[in-house]
A and B are shown apart, each in its own frame.
Chain A
Amino acid sequence: MVDLSVDLGFLKLKSPVLAASGTFGYGLEFKPFYDLNALGGFVIKGLYFSPREGNKPPRLVETPCGLINSIGLQGVGVEKFCQEILPQLAQLDTAIIVNVCGEDEDEYARVAEYLNHYEGISAFELNISCPNVREGGRCPAQNPEATYRTVKKVKEVSSVPLITKLSPNVTDIVSVALAAQEAGSQAISLINTILAMAIDIENRRPRLNNIFGGLSGPAIKPVAVRMVFQVARAVSVPVIGMGGIFSAEDALEFIMAGASAVQVGTANFVDPDVCLKIINDLKNWAEQHGVEKISNLVGCVKI
């Protein structure tokens, strides 16, 4: 029997496979396809304090082995989430992580404060890295100081463990990761999408109404593996890796690069039950390779 469980210190997961924020709706959308309890957990779509309309369509464009999105965090806001959605997730026996968003530091803190009062949330994932809500894709994760301030502010009010999600759209990912750790983040997750653009050459216009969007999918995997590797070597808190994971083999690359757990994003759109398949394939791979505990592989890449 392979042991898939992962101990992040502040949270024990049944398996290292989580579904990524914004690609798993509020979880409920996936209930028809499989028993969500098989997951290590899932991250809820980004949540602001108030409901948000999101960006004007078109919001999606497919590129070779990738997807650029400019959803802009359309969502229900904390009140409706806690009243209507969270109770439906309460019966699940898997980690439920809320992706916390804000226009400014205060809003992040307000969201965290509001959610503190509700049962059933295993951790917050601070989304300081969404490229789709501010002009030119700016976000706190683009510099260590803003990262430190935002994480610190949420840490002060939060009674739930904190994961900070980083942006790849930076020159020095390690300095941002260290700032988040220093401010009290108990884990680092990365990467969010890569700022991108596509042009329709027939009408000479950007394909997305928003002009820019975030690139995800297999196209970004090598960039993500590299960043996970760099960050995992620099920080002492656990790292959760993501970016283009479509198979158990992809997940293993991230684990070997230093990720204690992984998140699966875009792949959920293509195969709604892909997380389940990845978990089973991980188990088989470990059996075939005589690995008793998946977490023994974390950071095992030989340099």
Chain B
Amino acid sequence: MLIDRQARIIEKKSWGNYYLFRIESPEIAGRAEPGQFLMIKVSNHLPPLLRRPISLHNAENGAVEIFFQVAGTGTRLLAEKEVGSTMDLLGPLGRGFTVEQKLKGQEVFCVGGGRGIAPLYFLARKLKKTGAKPVVFYGGRTKEDLPLTNKLKELGLEVMVSTDDGSAGFSGLVTALVGETLATRSPAFLYACGPEAMMENLAQLCQRKNLPAEFSLESIMGCGFGACFGCVRKIKRNGQPSYLKICQEGPVFGLEEIVWQEKENG
């Protein structure tokens, strides 16, 4: 866990509301694992007061990449940064995805909804290196919500896309596409990141199929490193469900550990 106050943006791409930055930060890149995240200061002035959590989309050759969608003030300010300017990064934070050696030679599913695809690129690269065969499912509202399709394909992976409006790939929710695919194929593991409803749906699928899985959860974060207790969710770890810190114990949790929000509220 480090603070890099002089991380330089060396590349910037954008597609509508989505942005991808490559940022030079050798020490953070050297330690980063898929599923971990950064807390980013979006501006040198107040407001906004707090840093914003953004997943590590990739880490390679002394640089990290982030992929994000503008969701409000903080991400809008972040999007305004230009190549050559510096950023203040805190990371890598949290516990990432588990990639076990026994996945070697096995097919595994990585399911990303919208901006949730961000950490799955990094994960898919690691899975591939381990010798697993990742299949990436990438769902969006329309084809404009799938800017990373080519980048994923360039990794040499099988990529299946879905859109709610049918403008690209499978027409319907990504969960339906995964469900359909599971009728004929039996992956050894499933990883997912995306909207809560998508992940909860996938969790039910996995339970029915006895498919082990991990999910990357979101929460509003005050600090990102365990100091504020603001980011908690109900998690079953070692027995009874209790409030665990998403930033420290997660953001990635196992299928059996998560108490889905609707259940908790109901």
> A residues bordering B, Cβ < 8 Å?
22-25, 29-30, 32-33, 45, 53-54, 57-62, 64-67, 69, 71, 74, 217-218, 266, 268-273
**B230 interface hit (Cβ, 8 Å):** yes
B62-70, B75-83, B216-224 - the one binding chain A: B216-224
Cβ of B220 and Cβ of A29 under 8 Å apart? no
- Inter-chain CA distance A272–B90, complex, in Å, is 9
Q: Given A24, A57, A266, A268, which contacts B49 in the complex, CB threshold below 8 Å?
A: A266
Cβ of B41 and Cβ of A60 under 8 Å apart? no
The number of A-B residue pairs with CB atoms under 8 Å apart is 84
Cβ of A217 and Cβ of B222 under 8 Å apart? no
Q: Which residues of B contact A24 (CB under 8 A)?
A: 227
Cβ of A54 and Cβ of B226 under 8 Å apart? no
Q: Mark B178-217, 1 if CB is under 8 A from A, else 0.
A: 0000000000000000000000000000000000000000
Q: Mark B222-238, 1 if CB is under 8 A from A, else 0.
A: 11011111111100000
> B residues bordering A, Cβ < 8 Å?
1, 3, 41, 46-51, 90, 219-223, 225-233, 242-243
- Inter-chain CA distance A290–B15, complex, in Å, is 55
Cβ-closest 5 pairs across A and B: A60-B230, A269-B223, A25-B227, A29-B227, A29-B226
Q: Given B49, B51, B225, B228, which contacts A66 in the complex, CB threshold below 8 Å?
A: B49
Please indicate which of the listed interface residues A33, A62, A65, A268 has the most CB atoms of chain B within 10 Å of its own CB. Answer: A62
Minimum CB distance partner of A69 in chain B = B230
Q: Which residues of A contact B233 (CB under 8 A)?
A: 57
Q: Which residues of B contact A217 (CB under 8 A)?
A: 49
- Inter-chain CA distance A64–B45, complex, in Å, is 12
Cβ of B242 and Cβ of A53 under 8 Å apart? yes
Q: A54-B243, A57-B233 are known contacts. Are A270 and B49 too (CB-CB below 8 A)?
A: yes
Q: A53-B242, A74-B232 are known contacts. Are A64 and B47 too (CB-CB below 8 A)?
A: yes
